[in-house]
Amino acid sequence: MTATMPDPTDEAAGVLDDEKLKAALGNRTRPDRPGPVAASLTFGWRAMLKIKHVPEQLFDVTMFPIMFTLLFTYLFGGALAGSPSEYIQLLAPGILVQTVVFITMYAGMGLNNDIKKGVFDRFRSMPIWRPAPMVGLLLGDAVRFVLASIVVLVLSLIIGFRPEGGPLGVIAGIALTIVFAFSISWIWTLLGLVMRTPEAVLNTAMTVLFPVIFASNIFVDPDTMPGWLQSVVDLNPITHLTTAVRGLMGTGAETSDLIWVFASSAVLIAIFAPLTMRRYSRL
Amino acid sequence: MAGAAIETKGLVKVFGENRAVDGVDLTVEPGTVFGLLGPNGAGKTTTIRMLATLLKIDGGSATVLGHDVTAEPDAVRGRVSMTGQYASVDEDLTGTENLVMLARLLGFDREGARARAAELLEAFGLSDAADRQIKNYSGGMRRRIDIAASIVIAPDLIFLDEPTTGLDPRSRNQVWNVVRALVADGTTVLLTTQYLDEADQLADRIAVIDHGRVIAEGTSSELKASVGAGALHVRVADPDQAAEAERMLTEALAVEVTRESDGISLSARADDPSRVAGALTELSGAGIEVTEFSLGQPSLDEVFLALTGHVAEGEDPEAGDLELEEVR
Ligand SMILES: Nc1ncnc2c1ncn2[C@@H]1O[C@H](COP(=O)(O)OP(=O)(O)O)[C@@H](O)[C@H]1O
Ligand SMILES: [Mg+2]
């Protein structure tokens, strides 16, 4: 900055320049509008920037799975599976499912926050493909899913996870988890559109996810549970997802579990994606 | 296209039982500034959001730049910009990142987007803050980046929703300069405000809106004529001179002067500011010491009182009693 009079206000950071303002307004460049993919990718880039500027949001994505894996393996491993190293073979795919499924809330919270803050109004008043801002949020989720999966996987490998399915099996397991996660995301995007605050979205999602996650076969063998709970666990899509991921990372998944996972994903999307989009277009 | 930039007929928006916008007719000529003046909750934001295709219209019709808002929302979106009342940029991102993102969304390539962002930041005096997150901007800087974000592609029409509410006078002046530059460039501006003097300074025509209805429409002088220019308040030092001062003011201003119950305060309608200066000179010439005087422009309250017979509800406390700048 050139030497100007010191100014007491922080507005001194800059003054309007009338000439430059005129020039900037006179610049009538009108490029062609981007297509749906380009617009969505730009919003995905925005999601990356937000992770860069607010890295705290990666805390849940990395620290929780680390804590859960270590705590469960060493506290309960001996009791539940004979030894920690035996338990981690069962637990690692389960923790992966649990972690990724919890992360699905971010898109809904982000959407709610954008609407509440007013940024969404700007996006919606622009001549762009309408779902693009939402797709961008989901792309942000995808990055978090992959990151969390890598954290869980690396930690599990360190403490003794030995997947028999090899790299391909592991990748298939992660991919299946992410497919299911994207179908759940639609529930939270709908909540994000309907609810008043991001905290409300978070609380509702937690209230739904906690029992669903724990009433599954992620942590313990359902055979030890009372009969009525076993039937609940059996109906829980998380159970089938976990079993399928264990299979893929191990000696192969049962077709029935895969069908369960794909069918429940399809049902979730068939119900919540149209509801979300309808609500979104009426915003 | 020769017609009006904005034309609404019987525009209606209902939230539950609340008729937030209740039959608004507006005509805004291209290249002009139109001010929508009203207190909190009058329906200004709701009106603007309908015109910017953000909110479904419940009744009546609206065309913007010749396009029906309901039938051709995309055509409208391509040519207008909206600067909302609240944040309209991403607070977590920096100034540059926000503008680059918007430029990319509008079709600029990477290089072009960077160049446009830099050009705008420079023009708005934000170059030094380019790499700071918006959440660390001051109120005035935020408003400027909001507006910069709206002209990444210079629009034919821009909506500014309460662009200066909560700003200090200096920042407010800067926003006013931007609005003037926009108009000079041929952009049509629809702005909402709670401040009579803002509408007065910027708008070619003003619609006063209350409870979702337009209660008066015209140029600023037409509106003021219906309300009266304002009030002169004078306080004399010596109670014994009050009667004499009252008589002299009555004569000089040619209006009725009232004496307050304290016996030393006088007030009168002041339709013609130039007469006020003369009247005060006469007082001091006659040896009457004046301890205090003020010339108030009619506040939004007074405008409302005059137009509706009731005081504006839920009004922003800042909006009251604005000094008439020109006299000072
Ligand atoms: N999304 C909404 N849902 C329900 N009521 C609303 C909504 N938006 C605005 N209102 C109501 O509509 C009326 C007009 O609001 P608004 O247009 O924001 O006024 P202004 O911008 O003039 O302050 C107010 O009574 C407000 O409470
Ligand atoms: Mg408003």
pLDDT values of chain B reduced to their tens digit, one per residue, 328 residues: 458 999 999 999 999 999 999 999 999 999 999 999 998 999 999 999 999 999 999 999 999 999 999 999 989 998 999 998 887 899 999 999 999 999 999 999 999 999 999 999 999 999 999 999 999 999 889 999 999 999 999 899 999 999 998 888 888 998 999 999 999 989 999 999 988 888 888 999 999 999 999 998 988 877 776 666 677 888 998 888 888 999 998 888 888 888 888 888 888 877 777 788 888 888 888 889 888 888 776 655 666 667 766 655 544 444 333 333 333 3
Closest Cα to residue B297, out of B240, B224, B226? B224
Q: In testing the pocket of ligand 1, which one of B12, B13, B15 has its CB within 8 Å of the most ligand atoms?
A: B15
Q: Is residue A61 one of the residues assigned to a domain?
A: yes
Residues of A in contact with B82 (CB under 8 A): 121-122, 125
Domain boundaries for CATH 3.40.50.300 within chain B:
6-79+155-224+313-326
Q: Do B128 and A13 touch (CB under 8 A)?
A: yes
Q: Is residue A157 one of the residues assigned to a domain?
A: yes
Ligand 2 centre distance from Cα of residue B180 (Å):
22
Long-range contacts (CB closer than 8 Å, 24 or more residues apart) made by A30-36:
A30/B107, A30/B153, A31/B106, A31/B107, A31/B108, A31/B109, A31/B112, A32/B107, A33/A127, A33/A128, A33/B78, A33/B106, A33/B107, A34/A128, A34/B104, A34/B105, A34/B106, A34/B107, A35/A129, A36/A129, A36/A131, A36/A132
Residues pairing with B136 in the sheet: none
What is the position in ligand 1's atom list of the atom closest to the CA of B47?
Answer: 17
Domain boundaries for CATH 3.30.70.870 within chain B:
228-297
- Separation in Å, CA of A272 to nearest CA in chain B: 22
pLDDT number for residue A8: 41
- Tell me the mean pLDDT in the region A195-223: 92
pLDDT number for residue B120: 95
- For residue range A46-83, list pLDDT tens digits in order: 999 999 998 887 887 888 889 989 999 999 888 888 89
Q: Do B91 and A118 touch (CB under 8 A)?
A: no
- Tell me the mean pLDDT in the region A241-264: 94
CB pairs under 8 A between A and B: 158
- Separation in Å, CA of A43 to nearest CA in chain B: 8
Q: Where in the sequence is the domain holding A56, given as residue range(s)?
A: 35-281
CA distances from B271 to A254, B294, B300, B305 (A): 89, 14, 17, 17
Q: Is residue A24 one of the residues assigned to a domain?
A: no
Q: Do A53 and B120 touch (CB under 8 A)?
A: no
pLDDT number for residue B76: 93
Q: Is 0.90 exceeded by the ipTM?
A: no
Q: Is the pLDDT of residue A3 over 50?
A: no
Q: Is residue A4 one of the residues assigned to a domain?
A: no
Stated pTM of the model: 0.81
CATH class of the domain at B6-79+155-224+313-326: alpha beta
**CATH for the stretch B228-297:** 3.30.70.870
Ligand 2 centre distance from Cα of residue B211 (Å):
12
Q: Is residue A134 one of the residues assigned to a domain?
A: yes
Closest Cα to residue B55, out of B1, B87, B98, B12? B12
If one counts the domains in chain A, the total is 1
pLDDT number for residue B322: 36
Decide whether any atom of ligand 1 lies within 6 Å of the B42 Cβ. Answer: yes
Q: Do B85 and A15 touch (CB under 8 A)?
A: no
